[in-house]
Structures are given as C-alpha cells and as structure tokens.
Amino acid sequence: MNHRARYYHNRAPEFNTCTSLIGYLMGAGAELALAELLNRVAQRTEAFVKGVLFDCRQCGQCVLSQTGLVCPMTCPKGLRNGPCGGTLHGRCEVDPGRRCVHVRIHERTADSRIELMPLRPSPDTALFYTSSYVNHLTGRDRAARTPLAYLELGERRTTGPCRTASRLEAALRSGRWVMTTEVRSPRSASWAHLDDEAELFRDHFDAVNATAYLNGRPSVSSPLAAARLAELGLEPIAQATGRDQTKTSFVSELIENQLNGVHNLLCLTGDSFVGAPRIRQVYDMDSALMLYEARHLRETGTIQFTGQAVKDPPRPFLGAAINPYTEPVEVPLRRLKQKAAAGADFIQTQLIFDVAGWSCFLTRAREEGLTDDLFILAGVPVVISPKALAMVPSIPGVHLPEAVRRRLEGATDLRREGVAMAIETVQALRAMPGMAGAHLMLFGADGTALVDVEQGCRTRDAEEARVA
C-alpha cells in the first residue's frame, strides 16, 4: 500500500458519507483520489454558498443553528462565547463601523431573560477548511460543537471561608472595602521603576495588578512581574490575555504563578493589536474559557483540555473584567453571568466615568444574584495628564460622558481635579449595595496621585465616622 493509500486507509472513518463511499468501499487507488476530490468539492461549494450568505470563515464546525444564523467566527478575534471588553454601545472594537457580532446574535436568539449562555469550547483547528456538513454527519465536530459542562460551584459564593491562599480573597471575605491598583511590567531589563512603585504602594493597597503586553507590545511577562511584587511583600495579581496565550502556555503560567507565590489571576481576552505590520494574535481561548480551564484545574486537579492529572494543582483566586457600557445591557449581563459560572471569583470593571450608568448596570446585576457570587471592584480612573486625557476616548470600551470630559479639560490644575474626581467616584460607588472595592487606574506618570486618592478616601471615611 503506497503512502497515499495508507493515508486514506487510516482516515477511512472520516469518509463514510456519500462523497467518500467510493474510496472507502472500493479500495485505495484512483477511487480514493476521487473521494478526496469529492470532499474538496463539497467543502469549497459549502464555503462559497455559506460565504455569500453568512460570511463563512470555513471553520468546519458550524454553530449557525445555535446563533441565529450569525457566524461568531466573523468576530475579528474569533470569539464564540460573547463580546470582548472593547465593545462599546454595541459596536465592534476592531471595526467600530459595524455592530458587534455577539450583540447581533443576542438580538436574534435571546429573550428578555438574562439566561446563562452555553460555554462553547475553542474551535478545533484540525477541522478548519473542511466541510462542516461532512464533519457533522461523521461526528468529527461533536467535541467542538458540544458546550462544556459548567462546574458545580455552589451558591452565594461570596460568603463562607477562604478557598485559596490569596490575601486579596481574605480581605474581600472580611467585608471591608478593598482598594487595588496596578503597575506596568518593565519594557527593559531593569526592575528599578517597578521597585519604586511597589515601595510607594506598599502600605496603601490590598493588591496590585502586574499589567503586561499593553496594546500587544512586548514587556516583561505578567507572571514574572507579579513574582517580583510578591518578593517585595505586596499581594500581586497576575494577568493572562487570550490574545497572547495558547492553552499550553496558559496552564504553564498557572503552575509558574503557584511556584512563585502568586495567588491571584485576572483573565482577559485582550485588546486587539493595532500596529503595523499587524502581528498574528492567538485567541486560542477567550476570557471565559481561560477561567474555566483554571477553575477546572483548581477544583478537579486535572487539565481540562488534556485530561492530565496535576499533583498539587494551582489554586488561584480568579478574576475577570466586564464592560457595562455596551448595548443592550442584557449582553454584558449575560457575559458576566457566564464568567461567574465559568469560575470567576472577582470582577474588575472597565473604567467608570459614568457613575449613573454603572449604577443602573449594578442594579440589574444585583437582581440577577451576581453580586452574591462575585466580588466586584469598580475601575476608577485617576486622570492627571492632559496627554493621557486626550487618549481616553480612543481606549476600547471606554465611555467618557461629555460633562466629565468638560470638567477635566476645563480644570486649571488637572492633577488636583483628577484626584478629587476619583475620590468622589469611590465614595459614590462605596454607597452602592453589591460593591466590594475599587481598582484605581492611573492616567499619567505620577504614581503618588494614586496614593493621594487612597488617603483622601480614608480621610473622608474618618470624617464620616466622626460625624456619625
């Protein structure tokens, strides 16, 4: 048997449709070549017809019947489970001129209820550029089309004892208001700036995010920067972005974080790299699938996508992000419910300039019971630089109300005004039922402004307690 015949012989179960019966039944000669030709014709005919009708991307594992005939693979990031954090007012982050694919799916398939969406696995790349009809008839796409089974995580998960070694979890479960912030991983082989910021933040924040690969640009990795923060005595939150991760590298970083004493992980889909030339972006998983993989390993001790058992598995306190400012509001609410079910313990929100809009979203989230399962940390901007302020409207997913923009642009002392606005925002958020804390994000270069906000909030608390 030659190599071509052996190839078809080994793959015979894949060719058990009418397009391949000739090759399967009649031997491994010219008939098999004909079977290959017929399968190729089937694939290309399907690609043409579905391309015209549905903008088909030839993934070979079609879920159009589940998504209102809107192909999720037309999402520029290839996300099959829901919108990314860059979606704003229902528009796509990568192409703001068109509506988000997942908003369109929601409008065609959902009713007024905020039901839990199915969690679809990552596409099987072995099926790309094959016929989805053939794959469906033969069962090759069954694993890729079958939603993952959510883990049994219990109810009212914000109550009860700590489940990880995270000091952040302990602080949140204590019921006190929590304050976190972030530092940027170095873009050079020096810890000097990170060490200085760590020293500045040491006695002021409960945890510090180690942000890395901002806008897809190279830097020291987040796990390594988080390990440095742990060495310096801070409580670090490592970050992982689907834009940069394969499943293998993601699980490897979970183990690495465990070894380095990093017990918090924020799972992000990641913004789209906009440089030129455009680099290849991974998106092997979206943030919900990353949460599921990490929580599956934490709860069962096995790697979900391989079934491999891990001795002393990592047990991170898991976070995710949510952008409340897309429309309709049911879309981010469904996404938040999905992330909670996938395994998130806490949430850091997109920047909140619009406090009233956030209050409306939080009310709906509370009605859905999501604040019983998730500790919610509000993303609070601290804008102290005119250059940074001018950049804000271009950040994916950020809603900057006109009144807030005018207030900041008209300030004679932007640093003082930015700090004052952040303190006001924190105090307003703290009064809302269901909030657990605030995550301060700096827009400028002077980290002391973050400390000023934290101290200002503490002073306000002391004054209110004295009056009471």
Strand partners, 440: 380
Where residue 32 falls among pLDDT bands split at 50, 70, 90?
A: low
Distance CA(135)–CA(124), nearest Å, equals 12
Per-residue model confidence (pLDDT) at position 194: 96
Angle, alpha carbons 164-166-167 (nearest 5°): 135
How many other C-beta atoms are found inside a 10 Å radius of the C-beta of residue 352? 25
202: pLDDT strictly greater than 90: yes
What is the 8-class DSSP label of residue 153? -
Q: Which residues contact 118 (CB under 8 A, 6 or more apart)?
A: 66, 147
Distance CA(352)–CA(424), nearest Å, equals 12
Per-residue model confidence (pLDDT) at position 468: 63
pLDDT, greater one: 467 or 7: 467
Map out the domains of the chain with their CATH numbers: 1-52 (no CATH), 167-467 (3.20.20.220)
Per-residue model confidence (pLDDT) at position 2: 47
Containing H/E element for 318? strand 317-322
If you average pLDDT over residues 336-348, what whole number do you get? 97
Per-residue model confidence (pLDDT) at position 49: 83
The answer to which of 28-32, 59-63, 342-346 has the lowest mean pLDDT is: 28-32
Query: CA 63, 67, 68, 73 torsion: positive or negative?
Result: negative
| pLDDT tens figures, 113-141 | 788 999 999 999 999 988 888 888 889 99
pLDDT, greater one: 199 or 131: 199
- 342: amino acid identity, one letter: A
29: pLDDT strictly greater than 80: no
For 407-465, strand residue ranges (E) read 437-443
Per-residue model confidence (pLDDT) at position 30: 65
| pLDDT tens figures, 7-26 | 444 444 444 444 444 444 45
Per-residue model confidence (pLDDT) at position 31: 61
The answer to which of 67-71, 252-256, 277-281, 402-406 has the lowest mean pLDDT is: 277-281
Distance CA(8)–CA(251), nearest Å, equals 35
The answer to which of 43-47, 196-200, 407-411 has the lowest mean pLDDT is: 43-47
Per-residue model confidence (pLDDT) at position 114: 85
* pLDDT mean across residues, the chain: 89
pLDDT, greater one: 32 or 405: 405
The answer to which of 272-281, 429-438, 450-459 has the lowest mean pLDDT is: 272-281
If you average pLDDT over residues 381-385, what whole number do you get? 97
Q: Is the distance from CB of 131 to CB of 46 less than 8 angstroms?
A: yes
